[in-house]
Structure 1
């Protein structure tokens, strides 16, 4: 049967695909829009599979808070250009909200959650992959619960290149947000020095004990020097001991205590951390396209 321009237009508005893709789907399904949507979804799956070996190390992070539940999420794309468009941002918000509300245990479980009445989060990611032409993937998330007496604080740096989520015992939302800002900026590893695992502490002490300037010094002097350096290292990696980013004259613990609060936990995500990023030479890329 003949496919009308109106049918093609309607399908494009629903899916965001190109004119020829919309027309091809309608022709293949005899103008049945529902079947055409399935056809495009299958095509989207094929496209996503072709892109599976690409490195998606750009993207955004997000924090979604719903009552006493919160989720911090990283969604990746291949380029920061795609990460900045509304399709990607809307998808990230949907993914983050559903994860916070449903508390899945794994990424695989999260992908099975409903994005809406018609599709799962996995379907929504495949659809976005089809629309943007880039591999999009849910990399990781963490769900955090709090009690009624606790407070969430969150902070997004540069629109989501870094996200942090903090839980305080006591205090207020403003204090919690200040601490979240500090976490985003300074990147502590632990809440308190007492949280540092014994094996890591022992390793660091062993490394410090072998520094060249300790050679020939009496054991009691060595021990004092090692302890001093160990304390400095612990202060650098422990949130409570760090100089507060908005007031370096007090530590984070001193600031939080002045607000009748205590840091319970924090999570910090930075887009692409620990991932291999593709580095293309722009001139080579352009030349490759015109050959």
Structure 2
């Protein structure tokens, strides 16, 4: 049957595939656009499967939030141009929503819905698009922040009278702080690193030649400063730098932050 230019243009608009490939697919499916889309997906997905060894060093982060739960994902691409494309950003958001609809926990395996979305992107961009990682966390209060370039971001989970603005601000702090917090407070810092810092403080105090009692006080003070510099609750809140107060002093009475997750595009290899 004759394939009209209008039908070819319509298929191209829906798939992003070249005119000749669209016309051929329509011819092979007797002008049925739905079947033509499936045919293109199968044909071009096969070609893309041969390119999965191509490095996907760019990408974007996305957050989806629901009632008492939040999801955070990283979607990877080969080029920054593709990662900034509206279709890519929208797909990342849809995948985050799919993760939000699933169970709590970390994942590196995309859902069936996410896999189909990724396949469509691979076909239209002809790049190695891949799902790098994702996580869903539930809690009394949840919040998140993604930097404007979508390359870095964080989510936080807390309890008590925590406003969305404060949760967003703390998420931004986790994203931007240098050094990046290693834990919420001293109890959640890596034990080995705390012990190493403790021993270094003691050794430095002893080397000062001070009396034992004074050396112990010096070591205690140094360790306290190290804990504050490396724990979320002890760091000076970036959104209120002029106040020069740690984040713990901005939390309402009885409220607490229980956990956080920070992502940066490219930190982990895509599956």
TM over 0.5: yes
Distance 1:216 1:252, change over 3 A: closer
CA distance in 2, matches of 1:74, 1:9: 33
The residue aligned with 1:231 is: 224
The residue aligned with 2:90 is: 90
CA distance in 1, matches of 2:207, 2:137: 48
**Over residues 58-102 of structure 1, what are the superposed CA-to-partner deviations in whole Å (9 max), with x where a residue is unaligned?**
111111001112101111111221111111011011101111122
Within-5 A mapping of 1:93-242 = 93-103=93-103, 106-108=107-109, 110-112=110-112, 120-146=113-139, 150-171=140-161, 172-186=163-177, 187-206=180-199, 215=207, 217=209, 220=212, 224-242=217-235
Is the 1:164–1:267 contact (alpha carbons within 8 Å) kept by the matching residues of 2?
yes
The alpha carbon displacement at 1:226 in A equals: 4.3
The alpha carbon displacement at 1:188 in A equals: 1.2
SS for the counterpart of 1:63 is strand
CA distance in 2, matches of 1:239, 1:85: 34
Within-5 A mapping of 1:33-112 = 33-103=33-103, 106-108=107-109, 110-112=110-112
Distance 1:122 1:275, change over 3 A: closer
SS for the counterpart of 2:245 is strand
CA distance in 2, matches of 1:47, 1:135: 11
RMSD: 2.6
The alpha carbon displacement at 1:13 in A equals: 2.2
The alpha carbon displacement at 1:143 in A equals: 0.4
The residue aligned with 1:284 is: none
CA distance in 1, matches of 2:78, 2:202: 44
SS for the counterpart of 2:183 is coil
CA distance in 2, matches of 1:222, 1:46: 68
The alpha carbon displacement at 1:207 in A equals: 5.5
The answer for unaligned runs of 5 or more in structure 2 is: none
SS for the counterpart of 1:247 is helix
The residue aligned with 1:289 is: none
The residue aligned with 1:261 is: 255
The residue aligned with 1:273 is: 267
- 1:17 and 2:33 equivalent? no
CA distance in 1, matches of 2:118, 2:126: 12
The answer for unaligned runs of 5 or more in structure 1 is: 113-119, 277-291
Length-normalised TM-score, structure 1: 0.80
SS for the counterpart of 1:139 is strand
The alpha carbon displacement at 1:166 in A equals: 1.5
Q: How many residues align?
A: 263
Length-normalised TM-score, structure 2: 0.86
- 1:251 and 2:242 equivalent? no
